[in-house]
Structure 1
Amino acid sequence: MPFPRPEPGAGAGAAPAGPPPGCPAHAAGAGPGGGADGLRRLFGPEADTDPMRLYEKLRSEHGPVAPVLLPGDVRVWLVLGHRENLEVARTPSLFSRDSRYWHAMREGRIPPDHPLAPLTTWQPLCVFADGMEHQRLRQALTDSLSRFESRGIRRYVIRFTHQLIDGFENAGQADLVEQFADQLPLRVITQLFGMEEEYGPQLVKAAKDMIQGTETAVESNDFITDTLQRLVERKRVEPAHDVASKLIEHPAGLSDDEVREHLRVTLVSANEPTVNLIANTLRMLLTDRRFRATLAGGHMTLPDALEQVLWDEPPMTTNIGRWATGDTQLAGRKIKAGDMLVLGLAAGNVDPAVRPDLSVPLHGNRSHLAFSAGPHECPGRDLGRAIADTGLDTLLSRLPDLRLAVPHEELRWDSALMSRRLVALPTSFTPPRQAGRARPGETSMSARQPLPPPQPVPGAAVGTQTRRPPPPGEAPAAGAVSPSEPARGTGWAAVKRRLRGRGR
């Protein structure tokens, strides 16, 4: 689709003029990533091939804050420094989440069919609010989610993990991106929302398309919105124990539009990052000898391993966006009122000012930018951690001899405006019957072996008793565990035993 191209300097709040002659930024215009005024694009061949390399070029050319172009050659600022990212994220009085400040939006340069429209068009939800209104809306969302973090999210994760593994286990091989990581988070989320399971695959496809900012992003966004609108209408009439009903019932008194939009932002913010977190952790486990040996040697727990991945390969590379409420400065750059800023999460995580040596592990350090920061820190972060932690543990308890089926040099990524996605992760393993392993629910030697004590998922209650799932429509009891649920630690204990013989 044709995109509107702004004239340099157009509008009272337009970004500053291009760099002076001789500036390294001019040279960028000659390459595949160069655009108007020699600014580099955050989309297209250069960004898609190696976004991290692009970020380092921008850092060397401009410092911690760089002028760049988004689709339609819309001029924005990319924040590359760790400290500068925190400053923007934690100062909503200067850098608001309200996109109505954006001069490009006010001047009609972001029409409804623009790829950025689903991510930047103002809507009545906490993502675009600040101050008291943001607190009201976000509190309703976090309160509603917390009702389930303490009432058996693990149970849903384990159920769907087993279902997915059942579909490929006997083949002895699987693409763990397409057949596992892509599928698990949204299946859990739709269950928590109170949706029928058949919605899962369609929403997986639509959410992926929307977050990548493709030409069909608007259509995908419309599909998600329509689906959630029908859900809200149904829950108004037939409330149950689910996130949609809890949002409707919350004392904050959300309208139907507000309920729908908060379900949408939760779906998107919890799904795509969790998909990437699962895939990236599995890839590092199967290809990174140091990472594998540290985990196998007991020097790093699974939660610590997830945090290391969130530092090294954050699920979202950038976060759109913040808008300057007035003229200000950031790292010596003159930011004008209405300018848009993009948080460079991946770039900030490797800022030499905070990580001079990237080879040094950061066990348990949660000061990364993977979930952004400040009052708008990702509301789905704990849900994502719980899904990834429990899903990986369950997967590895079923497939303890999991191994990469292709040379790691053959792995490929798709890069988009806000994320870098592993395309496929081909793996192989011994089918359970050949390995003499029992399927879940069957008696096996490993099931009779002593197991490590359970480790709780953040925010989730973990029970020790075995219960049958409740009848449809009945709320699960706190700490409910399905009959096939493995004890915590089983999968990683098996991996440790296997890797101690290989990781040296």
Structure 2
Amino acid sequence: MDSPSGFTNPPPGCPAHQGMNGSQPEPVERVPLYGPEFAADPQRFYEYLRQYGPAAPVEFAPGVPVTLVTDYSAALQVLQSPELFSKDARRWRDLNEGRIPHDSPAVPMMAHRPNAFFADGAEHLRLRQAISDSMAKLDTHRLSRQVERISTYLIEQFSTRGTVDLVDEYAKLVSLLVINDVFGCPAHLGDRLAEGWSGVWAGDDAEAASKLVGESLTELVAYKRAQPGEDVTSWMVRHPAGLSDEEMINQLFTMTGAGADPVRNLIGSGLLLVLSDERFFGGQYGGALLVEDAVDEVLWNSPPIPNYGVHYPTRDVELFGMRLAAGDPVAVSFAAANTDPSLSASRQMLSKRAHLAWSAGPHACPAKDPATLMAIGAMERLLNLLPDIELAVPVENLNWRLGPFQRGLVELPASFTPVRLRSRTPNPSQENVAARQTSAPEPAPAKGGWWSSFLARWR
């Protein structure tokens, strides 16, 4: 197979096998996973990387070497073997020895934070239990109602125009506002948290945006210690694990970011599939089944977090005959493992949840069910309220976010028949969208921000 980036084909035999006789392995050409070519067609890269064996040499950013696992069985072995593959990024040898630029875009995603995501053993169990127990208290019926209310509110903001960017004006905001609700943010803190995460994702001033997120979460923890409620933050504050303020802030930093961004990507990719693939547009089974099928297909073929699950061998180990050095990052390509050709004959027989979109093993995503519910609910609400919505540009003209860590659209322009809102009622079961005719644009949210505007609207 020709290289997707102009590289020559790898030499006969897997480069990772070199040096097995005790000699130093020869340098190998690493495949970059951060340019526009990778963003446009990642599956072509994965197909090329499979020539190296179950794992391949890549770069997550300039000067950041990583071994990427592309084989489904090898991925499970890494994810389910914490005694051999640690999550503690303080083992990252290249970073410790000064070979990784500290301003690298990979460092914020890979460097250690004192939370469950980067912990092992008893410490991981203690922190993870606080998260899992708190997430388990979520009322799925209440969550569904809130997703419906938030989705309806956001649709009202653009429904009179007849055009919308379904990523920036819908998917991103649905995920952020639902996360605000789940974690019990009061109006002003929810506005700041949404602003901070929007800035982190936009990358305009990521350092300042990340600082805003941290400050907002610090205030949120203090607020919930003083005034606990029925929300995930309050349940974690009161958990028997006795998390300190620093532990709470670091847990919430990962949970809010990792909760909202994948849902944004999942909604965007799911809507693209529904609006562009005739298998999902209309049909005899109704919207709910079609939306669920679309979400399942995205999770299998284009997961919102395609390459992550970074681990560090605790000692020199072999993985399916491949030598991996202690302290060198080994990342799992959830996207490549899900599309492993060895699964092609058996995928239909596997459980729908056999995919690795939410990882596996002790660090599997604790919020995969609420995240899936949020995506399905938001997609269903949009398609129900705007049944004639369609893409406004050809699929090949769409752009994807750069980098190896997320698979998400930059924008998703769509058009539909403009709608005039009949009334403003807080009951989403009473259809607000009825008479279809051109009308003046809806006013933007109050200056306070999207979250405070939503709270004022629905209260």
TM-score (normalised: structure 2): 0.81
Aligned residue number for residue 59 of structure 1? 50
Counterpart residue type for residue 416 of structure 2: F
Query: Distance between the aligned counterparts of 2:223 and 2:328, measured in 1?
Result: 40
Count of aligned pairs: 418
Q: Deviations over 1:336-382 (max 9, x none)?
A: 1111111101111111011259xx86896111111111110112212
Counterpart residue type for residue 392 of structure 2: A
Query: Distance between the aligned counterparts of 2:410 and 2:108, measured in 1?
Result: 24
Instruction: Decide whether the 8 Å contact of 1:94 with 1:324 is kept in 2.
Output: yes
Aligned residue number for residue 98 of structure 1? 88
For residues 116-135 of structure 1, the aligned pairs below 5 Å read: 116-135=106-125
Aligned residue number for residue 284 of structure 1? 273
Instruction: Decide whether the 8 Å contact of 1:304 with 1:363 is kept in 2.
Output: no
Q: Which runs of 5+ in 1 are unaligned?
A: 1-18, 27-35, 448-481, 485-504
Are 2:55 and 1:68 aligned?
no
Counterpart residue type for residue 43 of structure 1: Y
Instruction: Decide whether the 8 Å contact of 2:36 with 2:402 is kept in 1.
Output: no
Instruction: Decide whether the 8 Å contact of 1:118 with 1:210 is kept in 2.
Output: no
1:320 shift after superposition? 4.3
Aligned residue number for residue 401 of structure 1? 388
Counterpart residue type for residue 41 of structure 2: D
Instruction: Decide whether the 8 Å contact of 1:327 with 1:337 is kept in 2.
Output: yes
Query: Given the superposition, is the C-alpha separation of residues 169 and 90 from structure 1 closer, same or farther in structure 2, using an over 3 Å criterion?
Result: same
Instruction: Decide whether the 8 Å contact of 2:87 with 2:118 is kept in 1.
Output: yes
Which of 219, 229, 233 is the aligned partner of 1:230?
219
Q: Deviations over 1:8-49 (max 9, x none)?
A: xxxxxxxxxxx99956999xxxxxxxxx84221122344334
Query: Distance between the aligned counterparts of 2:372 and 2:353, measured in 1?
Result: 12
Which of 352, 365, 368 is the aligned partner of 1:378?
365
For residues 141-180 of structure 1, the aligned pairs below 5 Å read: 141-150=131-140, 152-180=142-170
Query: Distance between the aligned counterparts of 2:308 and 2:115, measured in 1?
Result: 17
Aligned residue number for residue 48 of structure 1? 39
Aligned residue number for residue 76 of structure 2? 86
Aligned residue number for residue 379 of structure 2? 392
Instruction: Decide whether the 8 Å contact of 2:274 with 2:294 is kept in 1.
Output: no
Counterpart residue type for residue 265 of structure 1: T
Instruction: Decide whether the 8 Å contact of 1:295 with 1:301 is kept in 2.
Output: no
Counterpart residue type for residue 143 of structure 1: D
Counterpart residue type for residue 229 of structure 2: A
Paired residue secondary structure (2:138): helix
Which of 259, 273, 288 is the aligned partner of 2:262?
273
1:137 shift after superposition? 0.9
1:149 shift after superposition? 3.3
1:283 shift after superposition? 0.7
Aligned residue number for residue 367 of structure 1? 354
Q: Deviations over 1:133-163 (max 9, x none)?
A: 2111111011112222346112221221111
1:102 shift after superposition? 1.6
Q: Which runs of 5+ in 2 are unaligned?
A: 1-7, 16-26, 435-456
TM-score (normalised: structure 1): 0.74
Q: Percent identity?
A: 37
Query: Given the superposition, is the C-alpha separation of residues 170 and 100 from structure 1 closer, same or farther in structure 2, using an over 3 Å criterion?
Result: same
1:97 shift after superposition? 0.6
Paired residue secondary structure (2:408): strand
For residues 185-264 of structure 1, the aligned pairs below 5 Å read: 185-200=175-190, 203-204=193-194, 206-207=196-197, 210=200, 216-264=205-253
1:250 shift after superposition? 0.4
Over aligned residues, Cα RMSD in angstroms?
3.4
Instruction: Decide whether the 8 Å contact of 2:70 with 2:332 is kept in 1.
Output: yes
Counterpart residue type for residue 366 of structure 2: P
